[in-house]
């Protein structure tokens, strides 16, 4: 899978434009996902020198991204179909509905191909629409 990962607030604590402290298990989880053959894309608001610093910070910890702020490494601005909207299967971001989740849960969710339901919401049932019946059926 292609997995887009935010940097500030997701891999590290918010301290923009500085680089905050690593969020526990972030780089270890990312390395495991790479080992499992997922393609990771760093997806960040950072640009220029600040983006280069984030990429270097991750590289120093053994996390090499497939691409950075683009769908694939060779994609360049000005190309016919260049867009900042990534075509990823999963987005890992601290701005998800409900806020960030723990990195261990992120890994298990991806490994087990399942959706994440917060424990406090586990008992909520989603009502199903009744099917309209036509004729004798």
CATH number, residue 113: 3.40.50.1000
Structural domain including 114 reads 2-121
Q: Is residue 126 part of a domain?
A: no
* pLDDT per position as a tens digit, 105-115: 889 889 988 77
Q: Is residue 129 part of a domain?
A: no
Q: Is residue 132 part of a domain?
A: no
User: Is the full-model pTM beyond 0.85?
Assistant: no
Alpha carbon 62 to its chain's center: 18
Q: Is residue 105 part of a domain?
A: yes
* pLDDT per position as a tens digit, 3-13: 999 999 999 99
Domains contained in the chain, number: 1
* pLDDT per position as a tens digit, 93-105: 998 766 777 898 8
Cα distances (Å, whole numbers) of residue 92 to 10, 13, 44, 55, 124: 7, 14, 11, 17, 24
């Amino acid at each position: 899978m292609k997995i887009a990962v935010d940097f500030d607030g997701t891999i590290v604590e918010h301290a923009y434009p500085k680089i905050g402290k690593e969020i526990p298990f972030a780089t270890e989880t990312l390395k495991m996902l790479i080992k499992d053959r997922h393609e990771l894309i760093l997806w960040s608001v950072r640009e220029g020198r600040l983006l280069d610093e984030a990429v270097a910070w991750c590289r120093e910890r053994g996390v090499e991204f497939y691409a950075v702020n683009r769908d694939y490494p060779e994609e360049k601005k000005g190309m016919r179909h260049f867009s900042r909207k990534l075509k990823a299967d999963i987005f890992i971001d601290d701005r998800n509905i409900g806020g960030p989740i723990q990195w261990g849960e992120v890994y298990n969710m991806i490994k087990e191909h399942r959706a994440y339901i917060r424990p406090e919401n586990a008992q909520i049932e989603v009502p199903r629409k009744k099917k309209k019946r036509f004729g004798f059926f």
